[in-house]
């Protein structure tokens, strides 16, 4: 080696100095002297530090047909620009279509390989998009949520209000469809710990109302997903029906949840929850298909959710993707950072759904799903309204389409026979009752609520008079403060504001309408006997009535006692 090394280095230097096209001739003459092959020469040359390469051609990257780049651009545009959900064209098919749309005939001479090579050089081919991995800094900092249709379960029938499900091996067949319903599974994952919460339901599709109900269940303490609970600081999902639902967006803003969505057709952004949907179908649903009797097996929706809760208890105790602890233990780190943020149950009652229209009858009543409801206080009647229905309770609000005013509504309860409550006259009735606009030119005397004496005759009822009480309705106290969000929740999400109305007769501060002073006096005496506090106006009225109708009261007798009213002294 000591003898050959100087000679070897001389050959290397001679090879490096040889012009392009003469390097092979140098090695052909020198390698027999060195006694080595071409591959051994280049291997040893690199070992001693000779790394020279052939100099690139001056015209590297240039093409003899520059117009081909414009042609390839048109072809690739037709190949990749297709309708959403439609597969893209093949290169040869796009080339033929481009020729039909005006590409010169010379473009037909390009082979598919040349077109694809130029497309790669021009970066007009699909390449994997760079991904950015992120992780929440603490538990309940970010929750990802998504819904996915079940691969093997489908609704079969209902028994006693409970869904009965069956299994299928693949695609849903027409004979298995039941009124267009499917089995869906809503899922949530904590971005920091990987703790998963999932639940099945039956629905025609991915519904925003189902999503709200699932989140209410997931964020509320429940043995099925214990110890998980509490609101997140950020909620991440696809731009689907739940993210677009106006009342839910207003609700998240009110309680302090930052609602975020990723760009369309980019499910990788919520990959953590999407992964949970995959193992749900392969690991959980797949084992039901291994049962020899799967073709005839039936399972209730409740039993399926119980099995799913047990499955998730096992998977949530597996190792964390990064930390040396189970997912459940990683989520419990939250207890060292202040614990979960809870929401009062009443707050969920403020999420209302709308776009339900009804026509009120002359009593202010309307039907909704069978039951009959009435606008509180009989504030409006005989008009078209929009009904807001709470997602989680029976609370109702109606909006007058004429002026946008909103009123509370409740179940209709008919009045007891004999309890006459006068209704105010309409605008036209009041107009016709006013003779000042008639040709007579007479100006009527405004009626007084006090009866006028005519000799010894006491007018307890004045003809045509219906009087409203001077009782003023109390203010409705504000909603209780939330555990999060700063301040109290408004009467309704999405800007719905309840205008206080009156409840049942005699409750909730409803205005009483009395046809005679005697009716009002009896009503106030009963209130006083029950120990209720009277307003100064009512006390003044009782004193006046006893002076004006002293003779009548002496004939009727003393006011009824509590025992006479059926009350305990």
Strand 162-167 to strand 234-237: parallel, antiparallel, or no bridges (unpaired)? unpaired
Mean pLDDT across 543-568 = 63
Q: Which pLDDT band holds residue 79 (cuts at 50, 70, 90)?
A: confident
Determine what percent of the chain is predicted with pLDDT higher than 70. Answer: 71
110-134 per-position pLDDT tens digit: 999 999 999 988 888 877 666 567 7
Paired tokens of 6: 């100087």
- Here the tokens at position 373 are 């409801």
Q: How far is CA 330 from CA 140, 191, 194, 195, in A?
A: 11, 11, 8, 8
Q: How far apart are CA 330 and CA 240, in angstroms?
A: 30
Which pLDDT value is given to residue 186?
93
What is the C-alpha end-to-end distance of the chain, expressed in Å?
126
The pLDDT assigned to 564 comes to 43
**Residues 420-434: what's their mean pLDDT?**
63
Q: Residue 386 corresponds to which tokens in the numbers above?
A: 């929009």
Q: Is the per-residue pLDDT at 251 higher than 80?
A: yes
Helix 112-121, helix 67-80: angle, nearest 10: 90
Length, in residues, of the chain: 569
pLDDT tens, residue by residue, 192-204: 999 999 999 998 8
Q: Mind listing the pLDDT tens digit for each residue in 467-523?
A: 343 334 334 344 344 444 433 333 333 333 333 333 323 434 445 666 677 778 888
Q: Which pLDDT score is estimated for 455?
A: 47
Residue position matching structure tokens 């280095």: 9
What's the mean per-residue pLDDT of the chain? Answer: 77
Checking DSSP bridges between strand 196-203 and strand 182-190, what pairing results, if any?
antiparallel
- The Cα 91–Cα 97 span in angstroms is 10
Q: Where are the domains of the chain?
A: 4-47, 67-121, 142-343, 344-418+473-508, 425-465+516-569
Q: What angle do CA 422, 427, 431 make, to 5 degrees?
A: 105
Average pLDDT over residues 138-165: 91
What is residue 53's predicted lDDT score, i.e. its pLDDT?
A: 62
Specify the pairing of strand 162-167 against strand 299-300: antiparallel
* pLDDT score of 54: 62
Please tell me the predicted confidence (pLDDT) of residue 222.
Answer: 93
Of all residues in the chain, the percent with pLDDT exceeding 90 is 22
Q: What superfamily in CATH does domain 142-343 come from?
A: Ribonuclease H-like superfamily/Ribonuclease H (3.30.420.10)
Q: What confidence score (pLDDT) does residue 558 get?
A: 53
For residue 468, what pLDDT is reported?
Answer: 42
């Amino acid at each position: 080696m000591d003898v050959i090394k100087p000679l070897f280095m001389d050959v290397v230097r001679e090879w490096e100095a040889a012009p392009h096209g003469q390097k092979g001739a140098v090695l052909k003459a020198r390698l027999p002297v060195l006694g080595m092959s071409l591959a051994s020469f280049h291997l040893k040359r690199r070992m001693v530090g000779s790394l020279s390469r052939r100099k690139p051609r001056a015209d590297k990257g240039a093409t003899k047909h520059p117009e081909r780049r414009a042609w390839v651009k048109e072809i690739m545009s037709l190949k990749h620009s297709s309708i959403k959900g439609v597969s893209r064209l093949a290169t040869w098919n796009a080339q033929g279509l481009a020729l039909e749309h005006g590409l010169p005939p010379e473009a037909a001479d390009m082979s598919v390989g040349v077109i694809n090579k130029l497309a790669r050089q021009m970066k007009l081919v699909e390449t994997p998009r760079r991904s950015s991995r992120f992780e929440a800094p603490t538990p309940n900092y970010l929750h990802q949520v998504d819904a996915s249709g079940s691969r093997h379960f489908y609704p079969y029938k209902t028994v006693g209000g409970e869904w009965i499900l069956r299994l299928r091996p693949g695609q849903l067949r027409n004979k298995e469809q039941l009124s267009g319903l499917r089995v869906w599974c809503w899922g949530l994952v904590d971005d920091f710990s990987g703790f998963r919460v999932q639940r099945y339901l039956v629905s025609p599709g991915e519904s925003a109302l189902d999503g709200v109900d699932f989140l209410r269940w997931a964020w509320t303490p429940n043995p099925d997903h214990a110890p998980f609970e509490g609101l997140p600081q950020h909620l991440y999902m696809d731009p689907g029906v739940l993210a677009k639902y106006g009342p839910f967006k207003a609700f998240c803003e009110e309680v302090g949840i930052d609602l975020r969505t990723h760009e369309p057709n980019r499910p990788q952004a919520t990959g953590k929850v999407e992964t949970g949907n995959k193992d749900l179908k392969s690991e959980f649903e797949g084992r039901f298909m291994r049962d020899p009797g799967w073709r005839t097996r039936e399972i209730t929706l409740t039993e399926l959710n119980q099995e799913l809760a047990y499955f998730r208890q096992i998977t949530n105790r597996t190792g964390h993707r990064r930390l040396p602890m189970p997912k459940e233990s990683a989520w419990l780190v939250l207890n060292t950072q202040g614990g979960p943020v809870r929401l009062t149950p009443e707050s969920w009652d403020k999420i209302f759904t709308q776009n339900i229209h009804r026509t009120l009858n002359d009593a202010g009543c309307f039907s909704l799903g069978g039951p009959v409801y009435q606008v509180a206080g009989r504030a409006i009647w005989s008009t078209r309204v929009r009904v807001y229905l709470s997602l989680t309770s029976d609370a109702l609000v109606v909006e007058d389409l004429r002026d946008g005013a909103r009123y509370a509504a409740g179940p209709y309860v008919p009045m007891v026979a004999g309890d006459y409550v006068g209704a105010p006259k309409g605008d036209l009735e009041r107009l016709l009752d006013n003779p000042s606009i008639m040709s007579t030119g007479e100006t009527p005397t405004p009626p007084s609520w006090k009866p006028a004496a005519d000799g010894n005759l006491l007018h307890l009822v004045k003809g045509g008079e219906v009087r409203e009480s001077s009782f003023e309705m109390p203010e409705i106290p504000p909603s209780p403060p939330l555990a999060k969000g700063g301040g109290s929740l408004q009467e309704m999400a999405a800007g719905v504001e309840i205008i206080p109305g009156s409840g049942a007769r005699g409750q909730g501060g409803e205005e009483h309408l009395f046809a005679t002073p005697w009716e009002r006096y009896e009503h106030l005496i009963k209130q006083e006997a029950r120990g209720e506090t009277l307003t100064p106006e009512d006390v003044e009225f009782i004193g006046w009535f006893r002076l004006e109708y002293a003779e009548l009261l002496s004939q009727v007798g003393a006011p009824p006692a509590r025992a006479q009213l059926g009350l305990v002294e």
